[in-house]
Homo-oligomer: A and B are copies of this chain.
Amino acid sequence: MYDRSTQVDRSADSINFGIGQPDFALLPHALMSEVAAERFAEGDTELLNYGFPQGDGRFRWALADFLGRGYGAAVQPQQLMITAGASQALNLICTLLTRPGDTVFVEEPSYFLALRILQEDHRLNAVPIPTDEYGLVPPAVEEALTRHRPVFLYTISTYQNPTGRTLSENRRQQLLALAEAHEFLIVADEVYHLLDFGTPPPDPFAAYADSGKVLSLGSFSKILAPGLRLGWVQTSAQRAGLFAASGLVDSGGGLNQFTSNLVRVALEGGGQKAYLDSLRRAYGQRVQAMDAALHRHIGDRATWTVPAGGFFFWLTCSDHFLAAASSLPAGSAPGRFDTTDLLDAAAGAKVGFLPGRRCSSVGGLGHCLRLCFAHYGIPEIEEGIRRLGQVFDSFH
């Protein structure tokens, strides 16, 4: 009778590691129910009213305090422009700072839906920059700068989507220097930054918000609940004020007044911090379980590094697997094997993943695939990777 309610269908017997979303079972139902009741009991009408365009004042103070502790670097409420999620923040930045045909730099690989926002929604010229295990390669940025004048560079700098890798501290400094020298902005999608599993990452780009070169995107989607559609841009106070003065933001009276009023209670009362810590523990166990299962069932047919945080493993098929797979009839033309070709066999085995090509702005990375370890519990992770191993078996 109804259309679907949620973004993904999770059929009972399939384990789809292509779903890059939090585990439904871990969603903070009790916490959000409590803070909603508490916020309504406060009795004022601010939560239902048009909000202050840059974002509710008390909420921004609570968020700045929370982020300052999490980042280990002070955050000013005036640097925060509250948005309806990180995707909307990226959309707002594109609307206000770019025109169709403008150039932006993106990581190769990158978040596949961010690429759609940039390339399709805003018709920007996305120039891919190579990455390695320490993230974006600065000499490659320099080389690209000899040919292009980007408005901004879009980086998912910590626990990247899809690779799970983190840009090194040294490279962050190099990129900041390049942004200064070549007058481009760094749009750092830092939505996974607080999801470390024990070892803190380098300082976020958010710590350089006052440079005027940085727009750091954050979101409650990965640390609380995606349905809330609540995020922020941290940038210079001046630029945050400019965003707030846009017609869209002013007309709506802020981009998510009601929800930010509820989440403010979770920030002030400590519920957000406790919930985030529980997620870090849960995901930290899952990453170990997936790594062990990968060793057991995939072995040397692919390589990967164990992510120190975030949501994703990134597998690169090994040369000998590619050579063997390409020579089989089930694969495509020899030497042109693509993990997309594994999807049918995977569906048959009731397991899923995201093919690497979906994460490329230029149709590359066919020899890679992304696995999300956040969406399923450990038994499903172990069973799902066992099934993935069978899919690899059928090509080898």
**In the complex the two chains form, what is the Cα distance from A114 to B258 in whole Å?**
22
* Chain B hits for A248, CB < 8 A: 87-88, 90-91, 117, 121
User: Chain B's nearest CB lies how many Å from the CB of A365?
Assistant: 19
- Decide: B257 and A227 in contact? CB cutoff 8 A: yes
Name A's interface SS. Answer: helix
> Any chain B CB within 8 A of the CB of A390?
no
Render A32-47 as a binary contact track against B, CB cut-off 8 A, 1 for contact: 1100110010010111
- Decide: B21 and A116 in contact? CB cutoff 8 A: no
**In the complex the two chains form, what is the Cα distance from A117 to B92 in whole Å?**
12
- Decide: B246 and A120 in contact? CB cutoff 8 A: yes
- Decide: B57 and A5 in contact? CB cutoff 8 A: yes
- Decide: B45 and A36 in contact? CB cutoff 8 A: no
Q: Contacting chain B: which of A48-56, A193-201, A339-347?
A: A48-56
Contact for A56 among B5, B43, B46, CB less than 8 A: B5
Interface size of A by Cβ–Cβ distance < 8 Å?
79
For chain A residues 118-132, which have a beta carbon within 8 Å of chain B? Answer: 118, 120-123
> Any chain B CB within 8 A of the CB of A99?
yes
Q: Which partner residue on chain B sits nearest A21 by CB separation?
A: B50
Contact for A48 among B28, B77, B95, B261, CB less than 8 A: B28
> Any chain B CB within 8 A of the CB of A386?
no
- Candidate in A78, A229, A261 with the most chain B CB atoms within 10 angstroms: A229
**In the complex the two chains form, what is the Cα distance from A296 to B183 in whole Å?**
61
Render A242-261 as a binary contact track against B, CB cut-off 8 A, 1 for contact: 00001110111111111101
User: Chain B's nearest CB lies how many Å from the CB of A166?
Assistant: 22
A sample of 8 cross-chain residue pairs with beta-carbon separation below 8 angstroms, ordered by A number, consists of: A5-B52, A5-B59, A50-B221, A114-B247, A116-B246, A116-B251, A225-B258, A258-B259
Known A5-B58, A84-B229, A258-B259; further 6 A-B contacts with Cβ < 8 A: A24-B45, A27-B48, A36-B37, A95-B122, A96-B121, A99-B100
